Amino acid sequence: MSRNPLSNKAVYNITPFTLLDYPDKTACIVWLAGCNMRCLYCYNPDIVLGKGNTDFETVLAFLKTRKGLLDGVVLSGGECTMHRSIITFIKEIKTLGFKIKVDTNGSKPNVLRKLISEKLIDYVALDFKSLPDAFKQITKSNLFSEFEESLLLLIASSIQFEVRTTIHSNLINKSELLKMRTYLETQNFEGNYYIQHFRNNVPTLTSLGRSDQKMSSTDFSASKVKIVFRE
């Protein structure tokens, strides 16, 4: 007898309510364990290196109690798209009537393509780690071409999405950020490019030391890609 794909214990934790993580929506966050990158500044080392302890069926039972109370579900991690049952899980969430936002590093374009073509997702937050020359140093992976494929998929789609980058003074400076914006422009991306400063004094995957970089949106000239800093 085949194993129920929803019995996969891929979920590390659930944040039952957020007003911050899905634009203009009330939502919960489902944190999926594991990741195929090892970003130096990662704030979720326990999730990235840890194992799931909750199966998809348990999460769906929780979501049934939130019908009419929440607008959407955020799937985050770790990297949620690397789990083999993620598409089945998302289909089940959609049957409950929730909007779905996916937080992703873009490393699984084939999964993203299927989610888009089957109209299973409503919003994507795509992490732009760096340009190719620093990508392996920052992420400890060789997945830039996969990220680029995911970016182009989103640009060509009608899905609402955002591109975002975390910056640390030892990794990405103003000059590098300008190059990243130019790269987005050459890919015909238009809209806001969201930047968040590395948060000092929080546990991370590696010890980077303090980031003393304090840029703001006013440090950058107008462009069809607008740099917007988030707190």
What the block records as the tokens of 11 is 């979920």
Residue 157 vs residues 118, 128, 141, 153, 182: alpha-carbon distances, Å:
12, 18, 26, 6, 21
pLDDT in tens, 188-198: 999 999 999 98
Q: Which tops the pLDDT comparison, 67 or 2?
A: 67
Q: How many CA atoms lie within 13 A of 93 on its CB side?
A: 31
Candidates 156, 154, 153, 176; CA nearest to 165 is: 176
Taken in order of first residue, the domains within the chain and their CATH numbers are 5-230 (3.20.20.70)
pLDDT of residue 210: 85
Mean of the pLDDT values across residues 89-97? 98
- Whole-angstrom Cα distance, residue 50 to residue 184? 33
pLDDT of residue 203: 74
pLDDT of residue 107: 99
pLDDT in tens, 127-169: 999 999 999 999 999 999 999 999 999 999 999 999 999 999 8
- Report the Cα 95 to chain-centroid distance in Å: 23
pLDDT of residue 2: 52
State pTM to two decimals.
0.95
Report whether pLDDT(1) > 50. no
Instruction: Name the phi and psi angles at 45, rounded to 5.
Output: -60, -35
- Whole-angstrom Cα distance, residue 154 to residue 189? 9
Residues 6+ apart with CB under 8 A from 175: none
How much is the mean pLDDT over the chain? 94
pLDDT in tens, 167-215: 998 899 999 999 999 999 999 999 999 999 988 877 788 878 788 877 8
Mean of the pLDDT values across residues 81-109? 98
> Containing H/E element for 36?
none
- Whole-angstrom Cα distance, residue 125 to residue 113? 15
Q: Which amino acid, residue 1?
A: M
Share of the chain above pLDDT 90, in %: 83
